[in-house]
Structure 1
Amino acid sequence: MRTIPTLLLAWLMLLAMPHAEAAGGSSRKLEQAQTVFSSAMRWSDYEGAWQMVDPALREAQPLTDLQLERYNQLQVSSYREGGNGELEDGTVVRSVEVGVINRHTQAERSVRYQEKWRWDPKAKRWWQVAGLPDFWEGK
C-alpha cells in the first residue's frame, strides 16, 4: 500500500532534478563537493581537502611541505557545518566550526572559519575558494 506513494514521490523527485541542475549550478553537486571536503577534513586528510580547492588558488598559493607538516600536527576532533548562504555573485558561503587537537601537546581548541564555494561552469563542478582553514590565525 505504501509502495504507490513512495514511487510517486520518487518520480516527482526525478522530474525536479533537471530543474535543480539548471537553476544555479547544481545544488546536488554542491552537496557532494561539500561532503567530500568535510569528510577529508574530519579525517585530517589535508591533502585530500586541498584537492577540492580551486586550481587557480592552488597555483597562486601552493601548499608548501612546511605548511602541510604543520597541518599534519593537528588532528580534527569535530567539524560542525552551518547552513549555506549565497552571495550576490553566486558564491556559496558556509560557516564551519572545527575542533583540532595538537598531536604533540594534546591541547584542543576550536576554530571558526567560512568555506566559500564557486561553481565552475566549464568543469561543471564546485570548487572551495577560501583554501584550507587557518588554524593558527591570531597565534
Structure 2
Amino acid sequence: MRWMLAAVLAPMLLLAGCANDPTRGKERALRDTLRSYASTLRWGDIAQAQIFLDPAYLEQHPLSETDLARYRQVQVSQYSEHPAVPIGDTEVHQTVEIGLINVHTQNMRTIVDRQVWRYDARQKRWWLMSGLPDITRRD
C-alpha cells in the first residue's frame, strides 16, 4: 500500500517542483521571444522588430531614417535558425541565416545574423543586445 501511494505521489511532486522552477519560466520566455522575433522578421517588417531591442542599446544606437529606408527595400525570404547557445545564466547567442530579396530588383542574397540575447530578471524578458540584422553585410 505504501509503495502504491509513493508511486502515485512521486510524479505529482515532481510536476509541482517543475512548475515552480524559475529556470523553466526563463526558458519558456526565451523560446517564445525567439519565435516571436523570427515571425516578426519573416512576416512583418524588419523595423517592427525594434520592440525586441534592449532599451539601453536602442538609446545608444537609434535607427536612422536611412536605416529604416534600407529595411523597407528588402523582404525576408528565409530565416534559418541554428540552436541557441547559452553563455551563462542570462545570455544566449544564436546564429541565423536570413535570406533577403530586394523589392526593387528582385535580387536575392543571404546574410548571417549573430544575435546576442540577455535576460532581464526584473522584467522577466529577453532583450536583443546585438541590434537588428545588418542587411548591408556581404557574407
Question: Structure 1 residues 129 and 27 mapped into 2: Cα distance closer, same or farther (>3 Å)?
Answer: same
Structure 1 residues 92-111: aligned runs within 5 Å: 92-111=92-111
C-alpha deviation, 1:64, in angstroms: 1.2
Q: Which runs of 5+ in 1 are unaligned?
A: 1-8
Number of aligned residue pairs: 129
Which letter does structure 2 place at the counterpart of 1:128? L
Question: Structure 1 residues 10 and 106 mapped into 2: Cα distance closer, same or farther (>3 Å)?
Answer: farther
SS in 2 for 1:112: strand
State the alpha-carbon separation in 1 of the partners of residues 70 and 59 from structure 2. Answer: 20
Q: Which runs of 5+ in 2 are unaligned?
A: 1-10
State the TM-score, normalizing by the size of structure 1.
0.82
**Contact 1:25–1:119 at 8 Å: present in 2 too?**
no
Question: Is the aligned partner of 1:74 residue 2:74?
Answer: yes
**Contact 2:113–2:133 at 8 Å: present in 1 too?**
yes
Between structures 1 and 2, the one with greater helix share:
2
State the TM-score, normalizing by the size of structure 2.
0.82
Which letter does structure 2 place at the counterpart of 1:17? A
Give the corresponding residue for 1:29.
29
Identity between Structure 1 and Structure 2 (%): 36
Give the corresponding residue for 1:49.
49
Bigger-Rg structure (1/2): 2
Runs of 4+ in 1 over 4 A off after TM superposition: 9-15
